[in-house]
């Protein structure tokens, strides 16, 4: 369900095996193991007793077949990656062994392992087909639950595993934005236009419009739906009157525009959500949450608990040990904090998006 891109693990493993002599030697002697971050943590927490992952993390490596639910031998053969370095793939709510006693003096069972964005989807209780969440952290990720059906996008979105329970897969369609909150960090740490992220709301509110300034934060290339690793960031529309305020606003606005690109791709795949559940550090900014709703022309809902990734992993552990009896039981814990509905005219939205599309075209040259 993935596109070939250096963002994923497969080609990185190949590069290491081809270019790091020590890795090549260790692999030859069966002393090398691969894993995503969760695999590494499990290995450390169990003191090397368990080399495992779950299906949601496995499917992000570019090496896992989401139809057969197994490591893909054809891809492994093509990339010359030995299967024995790969972890065992388990359900998202499963028995992942015990933490070693030496860590905190007592041993605890590990019962929930789930990928970052899939965990946020679970934390947002997006268990029904068609439900959507969008997380705004360092990057931004939109996931739509597609039930037991794999939907292959014709618009460069990713087909992925949402979660796997009792061997049964629930699928999702995903769009990835590389730079969201990382753009705010750039404003603060690199060009020093702000002292902290909270300042941005006050700054953007002091401007009536964006004054024609657009920033495309392609600092590490562009993710979905462009998938162009060679693109680089640009700022368009600068005049003598441009101040730091416009650049701050353009950085915030860019995240909403990139979100529009993802939802527009979904629309062209025949999928249009009526409601988007949002979370992550950026959505604490009420101006941003409202602007997002305006741009994507959809109701946006923010939950009371915004650390949905940690919550989703906890829900999976709770499901395994019987704290929760079912997914519908988990859903009862979701509570709304605030709702945002579109408040701008169609003509204003069209004008804003036209400026963004012109900026994107310049980035892709």
Q: Where are the beta strands (DSSP E) in 38-184?
A: 52-54, 64-65, 70-71, 88-90, 132-136, 140-147, 158-165, 168-177
**Which segment of 212-216, 226-230, 238-242, 358-362 scores lowest on mean pLDDT?**
226-230
Output the DSSP codes for 198-259. THHHHHHHT-SS-TT-EEE--BTBB-TTT-BTT---EEE---TT--HHHHHHHHHHHHHHHH
Residue 298 dihedral angles phi and psi, to the nearest 5°: -145, 150
Where along the chain do the CATH 3.30.420.40 domains lie?
A: 9-102, 114-365
- C-alpha–C-alpha distance, residues 156 and 138, integer Å: 21
pLDDT score for 321: 97
What is the per-residue pLDDT across 12-25, written as a single tens digit (0 to 9) for each?
Answer: 999 999 999 999 99
What is the per-residue pLDDT across 74-114, written as a single tens digit (0 to 9) for each?
Answer: 999 999 999 999 999 999 999 999 999 999 999 999 999 99
Output the DSSP codes for 149-199. -----SSSPEEEEEEEETTEEEEEEEEEES-SHHHHHIIIIIS-S-SSTTH
Mean of pLDDT values over 252-265: 97
- Say how far residue 64 (Cα) sits from the centre of its chain: 18
pLDDT score for 5: 79
What is the per-residue pLDDT across 166-185, written as a single tens digit (0 to 9) for each?
Answer: 999 999 999 999 999 999 99
CATH of domain 9-102: 3.30.420.40
Task: Say whether pLDDT at 203 is over 90.
Answer: yes
What is the pLDDT confidence band of residue 2, given thresholds at 50, 70 and 90?
confident
* Local structure of 336: helix, strand or coil: strand
pLDDT score for 14: 96
The secondary element (H helix, E strand) that includes residue 338 is strand 336-340
- C-alpha–C-alpha distance, residues 210 and 246, integer Å: 6
pTM of the model: 0.91
pLDDT score for 365: 74
pLDDT score for 3: 80
Q: How far, CA to CA in Å, does 74 sit from each of 16, 66, 70, 289?
A: 19, 13, 11, 44
pLDDT score for 6: 81
Mean of pLDDT values over 300-327: 96
What is the per-residue pLDDT across 226-250, written as a single tens digit (0 to 9) for each?
Answer: 999 899 999 999 999 999 999 999 9
Mean of pLDDT values over 275-287: 95
pLDDT score for 306: 87
What does the mean pLDDT of the chain come to? 95
The secondary element (H helix, E strand) that includes residue 348 is helix 346-363
Beta carbons of 105 and 89 less than 8 angstroms apart: no
Residue 22: which residues within 8 A CB-CB, separation 6 or more?
Answer: none
Residue 277 dihedral angles phi and psi, to the nearest 5°: -90, 125
Find residue 234's DSSP bridge partners: 216
Task: Say whether pLDDT at 268 is over 90.
Answer: yes
pLDDT score for 324: 97
Task: Say whether pLDDT at 71 is over 80.
Answer: yes
CATH 3.30.420.40 given to domain 114-365: yes
């Amino acid at each position: 369900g993935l596109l070939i891109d250096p963002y994923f693990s497969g080609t990185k493993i190949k590069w290491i095996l081809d270019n790091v002599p020590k890795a090549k030697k260790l692999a030859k002697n069966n002393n090398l193991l691969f894993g995503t971050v969760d695999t590494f943590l499990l290995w450390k927490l169990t003191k090397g007793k368990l080399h495992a992952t779950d299906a949601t993390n496995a499917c992000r490596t570019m090496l896992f077949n989401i139809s057969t639910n197994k490591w893909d031998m054809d891809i492994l053969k093509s990339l010359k990656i030995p299967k024995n370095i790969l972890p065992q793939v388990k359900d998202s709510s499963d028995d992942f062994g015990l933490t070693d006693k030496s860590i905190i003096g007592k041993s605890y069972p590990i019962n929930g392992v789930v990928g970052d964005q899939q965990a946020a989807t679970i934390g947002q209780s997006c268990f029904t087909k068609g439900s959507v969440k969008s997380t705004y952290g360092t990057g931004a990720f939109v996931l739509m639950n597609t039930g037991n059906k794999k939907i292959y996008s014709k618009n460069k979105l990713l087909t992925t595993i949402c979660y796997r329970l009792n061997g049964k897969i629930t699928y999702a369609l995903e769009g990835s934005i590389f730079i969201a909150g990382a753009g705010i960090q750039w404003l603060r740490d690199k060009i020093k236009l702000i002292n902290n992220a909270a300042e941005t709301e006050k700054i953007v509110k002091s401007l009536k419009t964006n004054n024609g300034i657009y920033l495309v934060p392609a600092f590490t290339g562009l993710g979905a739906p462009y998938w162009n690793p060679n693109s680089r960031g640009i700022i368009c529309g600068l005049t003598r009157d441009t101040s730091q305020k416009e650049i701050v606003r353009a950085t915030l606005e860019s995240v909403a525009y990139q979100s529009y690109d993802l939802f527009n791709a979904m629309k062209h795949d025949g999928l249009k959500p009526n409601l988007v559940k949002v979370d992550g550090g950026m959505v604490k900014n009420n101006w941003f949450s409202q602007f997002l709703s305006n741009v994507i022309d959809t109701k946006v809902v923010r939950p009371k608990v915004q650390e949905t990734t940690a919550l989703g992993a906890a829900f999976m552990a709770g499901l395994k040990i019987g704290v929760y009896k079912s997914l519908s039981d988990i859903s009862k814990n979701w509570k709304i904090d605030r709702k945002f509905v579109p408040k701008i005219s169609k003509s204003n939205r069209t004008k804003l998006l036209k400026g963004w599309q012109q900026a994107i075209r310049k980035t892709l040259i």
